[in-house]
Amino acid sequence: MASKKKKHGADTVGLTRGQVAKMFGTSISWVRRHEGVTLFPKKNRDGVFIFSRKEVEALVAERGRPTICATPDGEIAAQVFELFKAPVPLRDIVIQLRLAPERVSVLWSFWVKMSGKDVLVPALQKVETWRIAQGKKWDTAAELVEFVRELVAERDKYRAAAEAADDTGGDGE
């Protein structure tokens, strides 16, 4: 019980890195990068950095924060999931919603896990991005496998041409 009071007391006196990050709508690493530059925390008895609530609120008022950050986390996740479902490339989601790439990447991991495909996250991202860029569509697993075979064959053809060019010192044709 004493630790809860301590935390509650620290919360009313100052803010932790996590609380500051939430106020700015950013990450804890962003807060760390700004320590000693625009944010000036003090260490408490437990060694935790505590920020002045007044200073942080003044800085937030001065700098503002992205409008997406005023949206609850669940709403942001829903917006991102809708774009995953569309499908929209991850880079475009970052640009459209003004979210940190790390946040979109974490949400992508959740999206894939919820789809029961967590082992394939990196491969799915690459294939999905390629599919969108090429305008390809498949309705069955067999069509997807065929598409991957075509990609591998195309990659092998380019590798062979590059090796031939290296061997002859020419352009490979």
Please check the confidence at residue 93 and state whether its pLDDT lies above 80. yes
Residue-wise pLDDT for 109-128, tens only, equals: 788 777 765 444 556 666 66
pLDDT at 170 over 90: no
Distance CA 69, CA 53 (A): 19
Burial class (CB in 10 A: 0-12, 13-18, 19+), 53: middle
What is the CB neighbour count within 10 angstroms for residue 81? 15
pLDDT for 2 = 46
Could you say which DSSP state residue 98 is in?
Answer: T
Query: Which has the minimum average pLDDT: 34-43, 87-96, 164-173?
Result: 164-173
CATH of domain 2-65: 1.10.1660.10
* Strands (DSSP E) found in the chain: 14-15, 42-43, 49-52
Please spell the DSSP secondary structure of 33-77, one letter per residue.
Answer: HHBTTTB--EE-TTS-EEEEHHHHHHHHHHH---GGGGS-HHHHH
Assign 168 a pLDDT band (cuts: 50, 70, 90): low
Higher-scoring residue by pLDDT: 130, 83? 83
Which tens digits make up the pLDDT trace of 26-75?
778 888 888 888 889 999 998 888 999 998 888 888 776 544 444 557 88
Domain boundaries, the chain: 2-65, 69-168
CB 70 within 8 A of CB 80: no
pTM (2 decimals)? 0.34
Q: What is the pLDDT of residue 42?
A: 92
